[in-house]
């Protein structure tokens, strides 16, 4: 007699597959349904107030008397993430170096930037033997796998913003780290003519092969601020105001392959339109006071506060002052998403969407 056909129980079959380290794709059907319309924002919108951060920096100077090897940096952890990070791909913090202090050289596969909060130009970061002076609101690059150290020969502490791609590199399982031989500061290039920074401008040696990535670079605030002021009367972005990107001056792309850096001005009383994008961003308030609405959450900020906007979260910026501009520095992961064709924006793509200024029309001849 023929045996009756026995149907496989799906739950029992799933358990059987699990014991064999396999999974049926049907298990992920619910995940696909939830992805209709895009992802949920990863992490929470959050603000770190300067009035809270600064006293802890001072306490850190006592708790960590020297920062030759370990860095005296307070890192910002997003309360909505299960892993350490300001966003799911980026990490931000505030670092302080005491008067007369040196932070020894090291290098790592994590790319980093330094945005100076308090510096007089006599303090400097050394990158692959090149001095990068640190004045207020300068941007200093320490690309992946470049030797870098920090030196403060002055009698005042120096403070800067750190931003790195640590969560991304850890997710890829690609962390490499190396202290400088002998645990010390690195030697300086003896001739400024050897500086790669000297080759980042529009006038370059004809006999050399140009290096296009991973070179030391300092973006001076006086140049950045001048550019903001020069464009203040233009229309700007309806979603970000007068927003400028720190570009690679040789290759023309993003600041670093994994980090995009922006500076934006919100003119007096300006309120941007709401939008969202697949990139996440970390902000530092250079000047002014205002509100960033992320969904229904209001982040009320003023000078030197830091805050985060997760990916795919609707947000808008508001300058509360009717007389003064507000300036925000930010770091994003747009370069990573662009590399994979995964950058999206709603309600429209606002990046590089408007034509550049046109050539003036010929003057009409007078009768």
CATH code of the domain covering residue 114: 2.60.120.10
Q: Give dist(CA 228, CA 247) in Å, integer.
A: 15
Average pLDDT over every residue of 82-92: 96
Report the percentage of the chain scoring pLDDT > 90: 93
Q: Give dist(CA 38, CA 278) in Å, integer.
A: 9
Vertex 236: Cα angle to 235 and 242 (nearest 5):
135
Q: Please provide the average confidence, as pLDDT, over all residues in the chain.
A: 95
Residue 248 lies in a domain: yes
pLDDT band at 257 (very low <50, low <70, confident <90, very high): very high
Residue 90 phi, psi (nearest 5): -130, 155
Residue 37 lies in a domain: no
pLDDT of 8 reads: 83
pLDDT of 70 reads: 80
- Specify the range with the lowest mean pLDDT, choosing from 97-111, 192-206, 353-367: 353-367
Torsion of CA 48, 102, 152, 105, to 10 degrees: -80
Q: Is 55 helix (H, G, I), strand (E, B) or coil?
A: helix
Average pLDDT over every residue of 147-172: 97
Residue 143 lies in a domain: yes
Asked if residues 142 and 111 have their Cβ atoms less than 8 Å apart, the reply is yes
Residue 5 lies in a domain: no
Torsion of CA 343, 348, 353, 358, to 10 degrees: -170
Residue 294 lies in a domain: yes
Task: For residue 283, give its domain range.
Answer: 46-191+213-346
pLDDT of 320 reads: 97
Residue 81 lies in a domain: yes
The radius of gyration of the chain from alpha carbons, rounded to an integer in Å, stands at 24
Q: Indicate if the pLDDT at residue 298 is higher than 90.
A: yes
Average pLDDT over every residue of 292-319: 98
Can you read off the two tokens belonging to residue 318? 């508001």
Q: Indicate if the pLDDT at residue 42 is higher than 60.
A: yes
pLDDT of 67 reads: 80
Asked if residues 149 and 132 have their Cβ atoms less than 8 Å apart, the reply is no
CA distances from 197 to 202, 250, 264 (A): 11, 11, 25
pLDDT band at 365 (very low <50, low <70, confident <90, very high): confident
Q: Indicate if the pLDDT at residue 366 is higher than 90.
A: no
Q: Give dist(CA 154, CA 247) in Å, integer.
A: 31
> How many domains does the chain fold into?
1
pLDDT of 367 reads: 65
Can you read off the two tokens belonging to residue 287? 């000047």
Average pLDDT over every residue of 306-321: 98
Residue 357 lies in a domain: no
Residue 353 lies in a domain: no
- Per the model's pLDDT, the better-predicted residue between 31 and 216 turns out to be 216
Q: Indicate if the pLDDT at residue 12 is higher than 70.
A: yes
pLDDT band at 2 (very low <50, low <70, confident <90, very high): low
pLDDT of 332 reads: 98
Q: Indicate if the pLDDT at residue 1 is higher than 60.
A: no
Q: Is 112 helix (H, G, I), strand (E, B) or coil?
A: strand
pLDDT band at 131 (very low <50, low <70, confident <90, very high): very high
pTM of the model: 0.94
Q: Give dist(CA 66, CA 72) in Å, integer.
A: 8
DSSP-assigned beta bridge partners for residue 184:
none
């Amino acid at each position: 007699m023929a045996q009756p056909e026995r149907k496989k129980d799906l739950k029992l079959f799933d358990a059987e597959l699990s014991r064999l380290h396999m999974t049926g794709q049907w298990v992920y059907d619910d995940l696909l349904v939830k992805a209709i319309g895009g992802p949920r924002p990863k992490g929470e919108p959050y603000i770190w107030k300067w009035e809270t951060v600064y006293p802890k920096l001072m306490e850190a100077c006592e708790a960590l008397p020297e920062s030759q090897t370990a860095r005296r940096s307070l890192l910002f952890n997003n309360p909505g993430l299960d892993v350490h990070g300001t966003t799911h791909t980026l990490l931000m913090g505030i670092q302080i170096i005491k008067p007369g202090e040196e932070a020894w050289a090291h290098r790592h596969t994590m790319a980093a930037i330094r945005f100076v909060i308090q510096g007089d130009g006599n303090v400097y970061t050394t990158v692959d033997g090149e001095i990068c002076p640190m004045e207020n609101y300068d941007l200093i690059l320490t690309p992946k796998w470049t030797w870098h150290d920090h030196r403060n020969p002055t009698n005042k502490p120096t403070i800067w913003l750190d931003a790195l791609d640590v969560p991304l590199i850890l997710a890829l399982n690609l962390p490499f780290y190396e202290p400088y031989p002998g645990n010390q500061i690195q030697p300086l290039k003896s001739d400024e003519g050897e500086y790669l920074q000297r080759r980042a401008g529009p006038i370059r040696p004809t006999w050399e092969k140009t290096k296009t990535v991973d070179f030391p670079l300092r973006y001076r605030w006086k140049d950045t601020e001048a550019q903001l002021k020069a464009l203040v009367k233009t229309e700007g972005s309806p979603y970000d105001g007068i927003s400028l990107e720190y570009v690679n001056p040789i290759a023309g792309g993003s600041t670093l392959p994994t980090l995009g850096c922006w500076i934006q001005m919100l003119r007096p009383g300006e309120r941007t339109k709401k939008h969202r994008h697949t990139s996440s961003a970390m902000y530092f308030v250079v000047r002014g006071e205002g509100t960033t609405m992320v969904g229904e959450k209001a982040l009320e900020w003023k000078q030197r506060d830091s805050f985060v906007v997760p990916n795919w979260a609707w947000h808008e910026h508001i300058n509360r002052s009717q007389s003064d501009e507000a300036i925000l520095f930010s770091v994003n992961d747009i370069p990573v998403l662009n590399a994979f064709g995964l950058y999206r924006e709603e309600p429209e793509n606002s990046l590089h969407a408007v034509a550049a200024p046109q050539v003036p029309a010929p003057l009409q001849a007078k009768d």
